Amino acid sequence: MMMNFLQCWPEPVVRVQHLSETGLTRIPQRYVKKPSDRPHFPDSVDAASDEVNNIPVIDMQELLSDDMSLRRKTAALIKDACREWGFFQVVNHGVRQELMERTRGVWREFFKLPLEEKQKYANTPSTYEGYGSRVGVEKGIKLDWCDYFFLHYLPMGMRDQTKWPSFPLSCRELVEEYSKEVVKVGLQVRHRHRWLTVTPIPNAFIVNLGDQLQVVSNGIYKSVEHRVIVNSVKERVSLALFYNPKGDILMKPAEQLVTKDHPPLYPPMTFDQYRLHIRTRGPSGKSQVDSLLLKYQQ
């Protein structure tokens, strides 16, 4: 299935950073989620505090240790984190803190460039590569309060070099180096119907399992729902790396995990078919993977 089904956005694109810098006193209704789509917090913050402190932390050096018992123990911790949380933090991953800080810094510089300079890299819904402010092509859908810059790193053939920023001057070099290192190796996470505030460990990576792993594991591993809280005082810059299967790869529960007592929970679907939903309707929490489950069980 071809993903370049639309070459331009159905409505004028408004940059969230520009809106924020105009001194708004109220978030435009276009960005306000309807009540049914908003998270429900626990009545008491203390009620979730113990769970917050138990968010899994994986030490990569232990996974690479020569001590096989330590490696097995760490692998078991990862398995438990994937089953229980769908989410964990990784420390001692080998990516230099200095490189992480420089890469985040260069993107801060980019977003501080004049709007007309950033607009040179404006994206379209055909590939999403470049400078963007929305996901989804349906008219009138609710939008996230953010701007982003999306690039393909691998495979090389998917890269659109015209979308890799020329300014700041070190941007291309740093993004290349950072991505290479990551390939080697204020967020909130929804856990048991609660939204828990996660305090990132300095220099740690946060790993979120995606919907495809939930499907392949036949629901054993959890694709976590996560979000970022809007801050009225300062901006937030996140560096996210997505590992996706090829678009024509058929995603379905692994045969080893399907038995008479545990039938497949999800129908076969290519990644392009799945992604079409996201790129049409925009982000909608867990509605996509949950809708697959419900339809298949009906």
Q: Indicate the domain borders of the chain.
A: 16-245
Average pLDDT, the chain: 85
Q: Is pLDDT of 285 > 90?
A: no
CA–CA gap between residue 131 and residue 248 (Å, rounded): 26
pLDDT of residue 278: 79
pLDDT at res. 17: 94
31-45, 90-104, 213-227: the lowest-pLDDT one: 31-45
pLDDT band at 5 (very low <50, low <70, confident <90, very high): low
Q: Look at the domain 16-245 and name its fold.
A: Jelly Rolls (2.60.120)
Sign, CA dihedral 64-65-66-67, equals negative
* Cβ atoms within 10 Å of 37's Cβ, excluding its own: 11
Predicted confidence (pLDDT) at residue 48 exceeds the cutoff of 80: no
* Peptide bond between residue 165 and the one before it cis (omega within 30 degrees of 0): no
- Average pLDDT of the segment spanning 219-230: 76
pLDDT of residue 1: 43
Contact 183, 153 (CB under 8 A): yes
Sequence-ordered alpha helix ranges (H) in the chain: 16-21, 45-53, 60-63, 68-84, 97-111, 115-118, 171-184, 211-216, 271-281, 287-297
pLDDT at 188 over 50: no
Higher pLDDT, 284 or 267: 267
